Structure 1
Amino acid sequence: MKKEINQEQEFLFGKKNYIIMLIGIVFITLGFIFMSGGGSDDPNVFNEEIYNWQRIRLAPTLVIIGLGIEIYAILVDPKK
C-alpha cells in the first residue's frame, strides 16, 4: 500500500524577511540613483560635480547599508 503524504509548500522566508529585504533593495536603489549623473556633455570640459559629497560619501554608504540590511534579512528567524 502506498501512503499519500500531502505536504504543503512553505516559503523559504517569512513575511518579515521579505519586508526587510524590500527595505534593503530600496536603500541599494537609492544609492545607485545618487551615484548617477555628474558627467559632462562636452568631453573637453571637466565637470566638478562628479566629486560632490553625494556621489563620494552618501551613495556608497547607502549601498553598503542596503547590503547589510539584505544580509540581516536573510539571517533573521521568520518564526519569531
Structure 2
Amino acid sequence: MVERWVGSCRREATDRILITSERHLRLVVEEYADHHNEHRPHRSLGQRCPNGVGATEPPAVDGPSRILRRDLLGGLIHEYTQVA
C-alpha cells in the first residue's frame, strides 16, 4: 500500500519538479499528500477521496453551474469544484 502511494507521489509530483532542498521536498510531498487525501478520487473508494468516504454525496445541481479550478504545485496539479 505504501509503495503505491510513493509511486503515485513520484509520478504525479516529484518526478516533474526540480527539488532544490530537503525543505522544498517536504513542502511538495505535504501538498501532494493533502491533495491525495482531501480531493483526489480513488477508484477503490467509489471515486471518493479517503477523507470523504463517510461524507454524504453532494446534492445534484439542476441547470448551469460554475466550475472553479485551483492550481497546486505551480499548476502541476489541478483541483476542480462545482459552484451552484
- Using the size of structure 2 for normalisation, the TM-score is 0.31
Higher relative contact order (CA 8 A, sep 6+): 1
Higher alpha-carbon Rg: 1
Structure number having the greater helix percentage: 1
Structure number having the greater strand percentage: 2
- Using the size of structure 1 for normalisation, the TM-score is 0.33
